[in-house]
Amino acid sequence: MPEKRPVRLSPDERRAQLVAIGVDMLADCSLDELSTDDVARRAGISRGLLFHYFDSKRDFYRCVVRQECDDFAAATEPDPSLEPVPWLRAFIAGFAAYVTEHRKVYLALVRGASGSHPAVEDIVESTRATLARRAEEGQRRLGMPDSPRLLAAARAWMAFAEEAVISWPPDGPDAPAELGAFLESSFIRLLGALDRPAVLPG
């Protein structure tokens, strides 16, 4: 099969195209397996031309991961003018929708070995921290008591929510609403119990 002839694009358009191809390929491979040769081939350009837009393979990897993480962060950022309850529900809905719709890439990058890759670990960790801060903000918006353990609890809830979204049965028309209600309930129970933890009797 003849290779695709390159389409003339502006430098910014070409960079965006190459990054988008890299993100798409992460659904089926690890970061180390992400081949710049294959990326260039899909774009219809030479490997050498790819490195006209990126300083190195590491630079390309970081741009790919940053794009995915930026998209994830943007999808979970509610309108700041919302009232507390709608704000929290928008945050939870954005989180659940993004993880569900980008499940393969999310598993490979944020949750998988690629997320701890030395070239991009700081980007992935920064994104996790951003989401944890939003969980903290949701707790405060609802007027729950503050706690020195709030950040730890927020990160614990994020890990819980991640597992719930990935594992939630997708069947049935009410599955998204049921998942949203489950995540909201877990948020209230976990982050609302910091000042008065409930323990089993005895």
User: Does residue 1 surpass a pLDDT of 50?
Assistant: no
Q: 3-state SS string over 72-133?
A: HHHHCCCCCCCCHHHHHHHHHHHHHHHHHHCHHHHHHHHHCHHHHCCCCHHHHHHHHHHHHH
Only one residue has tokens 């690890």, namely 30
| For residues 134-143, average pLDDT | 95
Reported confidence tier of residue 112, pLDDT bands at 50, 70, 90: low
Give the burial string for 92-107 (b: 16+ CB within 10 Å, else e).
bbbbbbbbbebeebbb
Q: Which of 12, 8, 55 is nearest to 36 (CA)?
A: 55
Round to whole Å and give the CA distance between 151 and 193: 13
CA dihedral 142, 144, 149, 154 (to 10 degrees): -30
Confidence of residue 200 (pLDDT cuts 50, 70, 90): low
70: pLDDT strictly greater than 90 = yes
Contact between 146 and 140 (Cβ < 8 Å)? yes
> Domain limits of the chain?
11-62, 65-191
Helix or strand holding residue 163 (H, E)? helix 150-167
- Taking Cα atoms as reference points, which of 121, 69, 142, 138 lies closest to residue 99? 69
- What tokens were used for 155? 């990160």
pTM of the predicted structure, to 2 decimals:
0.86
CATH no. of 65-191: 1.10.357
Fold (CATH) for 11-62: Arc Repressor Mutant, subunit A (1.10.10)
Residues 8-67: tens digit of each pLDDT: 789 899 999 999 999 999 888 888 889 999 999 999 999 999 999 999 999 999 999 999
**Residue 2 confidence class, pLDDT cut points 50, 70, 90:** very low
The reported pLDDT for the residue numbered 9 is 83
Domains 11-62 and 65-191 share a fold: no
pLDDT value, residue 151: 92
- Beta-carbon contacts of residue 51 (< 8 Å; ≥ 6 apart): 36
Nearest to 150 by CA among 127, 134, 162: 134
- The pLDDT assigned to 6 comes to 53
Q: Please write the tens of the pLDDT for every residue from 118-135.
A: 889 999 999 999 999 999
